[in-house]
């Protein structure tokens, strides 16, 4: 069972974040299965994980970078992942900031409903913890984008999270479903799409490709079906460069006729 005690200070921080962050309207909740599943969304910088923690309407845990849970690892990880692309003249400010945010990061990531994700030998602990929580009835919420471009809505997905379904099937005999999620902070909307079922009979490499492709396609479809809005991208880029949810082919046609 999950008997983790929550810090009172974290409860205050959580209340403040909920007070000042977008108040999301949930759409497509009928696509959430009654059994535990894997909810996969666009990162939208910090908006995705915050929305995942606060607004997912089922029992859940959010996969988070394990480095953000350890005092010694936060500064280097935070600077590299959030601010390394800043202009050279101001990077020193963000290096200082990476140390200043460390206490808050350690507090939040160790008290929220999280599963630490690692990319070294500690990765096995990520899967073990996820297995335990799934069997306790908690869904996993994952934001797997990387810096490789895919389209104007999402960046390419890191695909190893799909292995979670393989391990879960071997342990429980149950087939996991992957539910796509599109987070639109500028519209204050979270949309859940059509689930994709894992196929335990297929080669895991082909399943990684199939499931990630289907998830990215469905997230893109949901995004372009909404009213025109600015997409908050995964990378921390200047706001003037944020894309719109208009499909890429529309941009291409406008360029040809403009």
Does some domain include residue 80? yes
Does some domain include residue 74? yes
Domain containing 111 equals: 60-121
- Place 250 in a pLDDT band, splitting at 50, 70 and 90: very low
Is residue 199 domain-shared with residue 100, that is, in the same domain?
no
The predicted structure's pLDDT at residue 52: 95
Average pLDDT, the chain: 91
The predicted structure's pLDDT at residue 252: 43
- For residues 58-63, give the mean pLDDT: 97
Is residue 147 domain-shared with residue 208, that is, in the same domain?
yes
Angle at 102 between CA 4 and CA 159, to 5 degrees: 70
Question: What's the half-sphere exposure (Cβ side, CA atoms, 13 Å) at 228?
Answer: 5
Locus of tokens 């809005």: 229
Backbone φ and ψ for 237, nearest 5 degrees, come out as -105, 165
Does some domain include residue 16? no
- 113-126 residue pLDDT tens: 999 998 888 889 99
Is residue 48 domain-shared with residue 69, that is, in the same domain?
no
Is residue 151 domain-shared with residue 193, that is, in the same domain?
yes
Is residue 159 domain-shared with residue 102, that is, in the same domain?
no
- 185-231 residue pLDDT tens: 999 999 999 999 999 999 999 999 999 999 999 999 999 999 999 99
The predicted structure's pLDDT at residue 204: 97
Tell me if 143 sits within 8 A of 49, measured CB to CB: yes
- Place 146 in a pLDDT band, splitting at 50, 70 and 90: very high
Does some domain include residue 105? yes
Tally of domains in the chain: 2
Is residue 160 domain-shared with residue 116, that is, in the same domain?
no
CA 241/CA 66 separation, integer angstroms: 30
The predicted structure's pLDDT at residue 251: 41
Is residue 44 domain-shared with residue 144, that is, in the same domain?
yes
% of the chain residues with pLDDT over 90: 79
The predicted structure's pLDDT at residue 256: 45
Is residue 184 domain-shared with residue 233, that is, in the same domain?
yes
Does some domain include residue 132? no
Among 1-10, 33-42, 44-53, 146-155, where is mean pLDDT lowest?
A: 1-10
Q: Could you tell me the pTM of the whole model?
A: 0.90
Does some domain include residue 5? no
Is residue 109 domain-shared with residue 232, that is, in the same domain?
no
Among 55-69, 109-123, 160-174, where is mean pLDDT lowest?
A: 109-123
Does some domain include residue 6? no
The predicted structure's pLDDT at residue 4: 62
């Amino acid at each position: 069972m999950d008997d983790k005690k929550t810090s009172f200070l974290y409860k205050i921080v959580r209340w403040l974040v909920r007070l000042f962050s977008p108040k999301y309207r949930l759409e497509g909740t009928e696509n959430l299965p009654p059994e535990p599943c894997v909810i996969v969304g666009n990162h939208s910088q910090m908006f995705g994980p915050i929305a995942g923690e606060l607004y997912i309407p089922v029992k859940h845990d959010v996969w988070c970078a394990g480095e953000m849970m350890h005092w010694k690892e936060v500064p280097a990880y935070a600077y590299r992942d959030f601010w390394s692309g800043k202009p050279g003249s101001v990077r020193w400010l963000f290096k200082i900031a990476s140390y200043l945010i460390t206490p808050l990061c350690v507090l939040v990531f160790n008290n929220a409903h999280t599963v630490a994700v690692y990319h070294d030998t500690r990765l096995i602990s990520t899967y073990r913890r996820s297995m335990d929580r799934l069997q306790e009835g908690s869904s996993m919420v994952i934001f797997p984008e990387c810096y490789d471009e895919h389209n104007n809505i999402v960046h390419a997905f890191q695909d190893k999270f799909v292995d979670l379904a393989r391990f879960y099937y071997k342990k429980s005999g149950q087939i996991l479903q992957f539910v796509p999620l599109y987070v639109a902070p500028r519209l204050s909307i979270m949309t859940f799409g059509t689930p994709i079922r894992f196929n335990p009979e297929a080669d895991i490499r082909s399943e990684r490709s199939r499931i990630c492709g289907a998830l990215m396609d469905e997230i893109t479809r949901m995004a372009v079906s909404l009213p025109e809005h600015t997409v908050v991208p995964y990378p921390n880029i200047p706001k003037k460069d944020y894309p719109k949810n208009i499909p890429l082919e529309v941009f291409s046609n406008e360029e040809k006729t403009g």
